[in-house]
Structure 1
């Protein structure tokens, strides 16, 4: 294998602000510490937290790279001491704590996953963040069971499109909320049973109609705000609401009685600050239960658009337009 260079040109955040603050800079190529891999990046996913970090509202956790980018796919070019899960030359995809907008990036050996042959490297770069978010929140926290119904807000997002496919592949029904006919059609094509346009329909009434009045068993919500109380309305008895973002606001006024009467569970999580051990445990569960679905061709990420790394600002503009359907990926 060729030796990695000493320096590389990355895309950094020159100061908090709009997409135009994403600018090239020169950085040393990182050296993997014990338990780490150095990956030559071929694709890096773009996610909402990247946008939040760029605007100054989501600082990286202590010890993480200050560069944006939370998921990558590429080839292992150097191993830290004790890294034994992967070897030089392996094609891997991984969640990273930062640093993805670069030609070389550090990944944890235990969190990296072998790229299934059914995926291109571009597709692999669109997988780790959404897959781990959906797996942990819908299945580990929300305990979605076969035969139950999942409601996904933002069904056409990267997370939404992954949630639809995974829930359907594992035997559940799926209802989504979306903001346009085009997005509704995309979700139905992926396997969603119902798509509700939240701009023209009341999602609570539409959910009750679609479920014969019983409501949904699990709700994956990235909106928060006034959706919280409406989620309680749309949930079935013993329903689980899982909060993964608050794009509509972090504060809500709720009638707590409804939680008691319906025996609801409202939980939530964020992925980036979780410990490496937690993330490695999620990866182990995904490798056992979800990777076979990729290998069988039953799941693959929906790619909205790809941009070269140096056009990362345009990728952020695309994300902030909210017109995308599926994942936005940077190609190296």
Structure 2
């Protein structure tokens, strides 16, 4: 097996050097362990944001848009500043002219996805929210099929179905334990969740596209900048009266800080996982957040750990394993055939980066 350097990339003369042959071989690689652990860390960040949102809701402080505002502001301050430093003001301005409208669209969809999902919990039942939230996965699969021309092996489809089966066990568990919450307007709430989950799916797919072709600091800087603008305008229009009635105290400040730190970690880690895997795997990983949320809830809110929750978690992880059961590429979905091995950015988590750096799992 030989290799040579072409256009700054290591090219491998034999496909065997970057492929695995036996079923389930990929799940025993360090790479799979890395994306599995990262996915669960991001799932825990979802739990953290939901927990702080619940603590805020328990105070009757209904400010879903405002509580996300600081996250966008911090993303803008950190990553836009980094973009200007690395790119220079002239190149950064040119990027705004050329691609700014695309990032604005991404930020707008992201803000509205957060808004409609949070609002849906106020109007419909918990079981409806849990079921309809799975539409994000369906949206991601369909968009990846249509725009990225991704074709899924039957084992990947089976893995997705098993993960959704885990979600079904979760819903059944909540039904049997009477955890479901009443809804003020079920039709309105269901429509909000359908819209929000679909927007989440759109955001995930196009964020995968953007971070595969551009530096993370550029994408997150633009997402934060335009997200802060859209979010700020929406707060002024929709939540001005609620802000006047908020009880501003130490607990309120602590909950907001905790929420936004969790959101910052989530937003910063997501692009790396999207590069290393895909928007589909990212969403499958987040299905475990309900199990982790219950574990946290047993300590904070007095929830009981029903046995079906454990089955649900096992099915989700089992589905993730099945998703990569016959994966032959040593770097899983990082290569992204729709992008091309010589296209896209060289950065953390990208396939081009792992070819530039000597990898002991790739024989060259």
Normalised to the residue count of structure 1, the TM-score between the two structures is 0.24
Structure whose residues are more often strand by fraction: 1
Q: Please tell me whether Structure 1 or Structure 2 has the larger radius of gyration of its CA atoms.
A: 2
Structure whose residues are more often helix by fraction: 2
Question: Which of the pair has the greater relative contact order for Cα pairs under 8 Å at 6+ separation?
Answer: 2
